[in-house]
A = this chain, B = another copy of it.
């Protein structure tokens, strides 16, 4: 590992929490030489179908073998054609959704930037409303709508015309957040102009696994309709089946104007991102948002295969089953360990909130202990006090159970050592 310490930038982060060199992975297991780890991190959401999914892999290798286009800017290619067709027939048509597809530079943040630009062009306004706790990416536009202040420290000049609104989380429980937002819009003296768009996540993952209520999302959609504001759903982390349905907003029966997809869309962890645009909003001129890798052909191949795979294994059903298990396990086995523990989640994204312990090290210690016990799991949320459970969606039930047991063990170990329960 000396090579990393010596030559890789200090900015590296995950490797500090999981200090080993990984060399192999399959499905829900990652290997570091002899040791194996259950993966409850899933590439931060990029590996919903597991590592090196065989079905997808085969099609990628076949594609490579036949010297099909590996890089083609935004040329028309057969790989892209097949993906578009499959996405229409498998996802959009059955859901009666009508979107144009924009292939952005293959990162989530790039598609978020495209969404902001397009919204501003369409509405001829600069203002954007985002929500406290939001995470949308690290390039200047996306960072300007991201809540985490630490990420912005020392980098002024980013917050132009972005207004952060309260998200319906615990802290804001006393406030009807959308009533407040509407007051701000309608008050002629609020100082805050009507924005071009409101961007939201249905589940704030980095914010600490905060799940927006269905009614709140419906009211948000309604508010945007009444005030003629575009609604952008950033479905990067919790789209692609993470909450059960393919899009996370389906449970609220709403249709955003723009939808950002990335992470698991390519199915194999290959870089790809997508902006879905209601056809009437597709006012882009040719080449107004470009990027050398905006047509990542291998990712298209993976993405098409992934859409086939999820149909083949009836993935939505799988998720419902495992959601049931996770919800029960966390509420029955984990929460009762201490009254300061709060459980939140949906589908296959769950958080164990330890913030009420007021111990800056507790969550970290537990995750470290998990790693020792063979589980890779990360922390999110304010001050990184929420343990995030994010396994591949197709994880074998036995592996899921084993991973959960490790969490239970680690949590007990750490709380015991610190005698929290006694002191409580």
Q: Which residues of A are interface residues toward B (Cβ below 8 A)?
A: 1, 3-4, 7-16, 18-26, 30, 41, 43-47, 51-52, 57, 60-61, 64-78, 80-81, 84-85, 88, 100-103, 105-110, 113-114, 116-117, 120-121, 124, 126, 130, 132-134, 137-142, 144-152, 154-157, 159-162, 164, 166, 171-172, 174-176, 179-180, 183-184, 187-193, 206-208, 236, 262-263, 268-271, 275, 277, 282-293, 296-298, 381-383
Judge whether B192 and A164 touch: CB under 8 Å.
yes
Q: A157-B157, A183-B172, A298-B270 are in contact. Are A292 and B43 (CB under 8 A)?
A: yes
Chain B residues whose CB sits within 8 angstroms of the CB of A73 once the complex forms = 14, 41, 43-44
Measured CB to CB, the closest approach of chain B to A270, in angstroms, equals: 7
Which residue of B72, B106, B144 is within 8 Å of A140 (Cβ)? Answer: B144
The verdict on A15 contacting B74 (CB below 8 Å), with A25-B69, A101-B7 known, is yes
Q: Which of B8, B76, B285 contacts A102 (CB 8 A)?
A: B8
A109 proximity list for chain B (CB < 8 A): 105, 110, 139, 291
Min C-beta distance of A36 to chain B, whole Å: 13
* B9 near A100: Cβ-Cβ < 8 Å: yes
Q: Are B298 and A134 in contact (CB under 8 A)?
A: no
Give CA–CA (A152, B180) in the complex, Å: 22
When distances are taken between beta carbons in the complex, the residues of chain B under 8 Å from A140 are: 113, 116, 139-142, 144
Once A8-B100, A174-B176 are accepted as A-B contacts, the answer to whether A67 and B139 lie under 8 Å apart by CB is no
Task: Flag if B292 contacts A188 (CB, 8 Å).
Answer: no
Residue among A13, A162, A192 with most chain B CB within 10 A: A13
Report A366 CB to chain B, min CB distance, Å: 19
For A68, what are the chain B residues with a Cβ–Cβ distance below 8 Å?
Answer: 23-25
Task: Please tell me which one of the listed residues B41, B45, B175, B189 contacts residue A148 in the complex, with CB atoms under 8 A apart.
Answer: B189
Contacts of A293 in B (CB 8 A): 46, 106-107, 269-271
Q: A141-B139, A383-B188 are in contact. Are A88 and B7 (CB under 8 A)?
A: yes
Quick one: closest B residue to A132, CB to CB?
A: B190
Which single residue of chain B is at the shortest CB-CB distance from A85? B3
Are the C-beta atoms of A4 and B84 separated by less than 8 Å? yes
Decide if B44 touches A138 in the complex (CB within 8 Å): no
Top 10 A-B pairs, shortest CB-CB distance: A71-B269, A140-B141, A13-B287, A11-B284, A147-B189, A164-B191, A9-B102, A139-B139, A271-B293, A140-B140
Residues of B within 8 A of A107 (CB): 105-107, 110, 291-293
Known: A81-B3, A130-B191, A189-B147. A70 touches B45 (CB 8 A): no
Q: Output the least CB separation between A30 and chain B (Å).
A: 7
Q: Return chain B residues, CB-CB under 8 Å to A138.
A: 105, 110, 113-114, 289-291
Question: Complex formed: what's the CA distance from A7 to B92 in Å?
Answer: 11
Alpha-carbon distance between A147 and B192 when the two chains are bound, in angstroms: 7
A302 to B80, CA, bound (A): 22
Q: Are B270 and A132 in contact (CB-based, < 8 A)?
A: no
Q: Which B residue's beta carbon lies closest to that of A144?
A: B140
Q: Is the CB of A9 within 8 A of B66?
A: no
Select A271's contact among B74, B187, B283, B296, beta carbons within 8 Å: B296
Of chain B, the residue at the smallest CB distance from A57 is B64
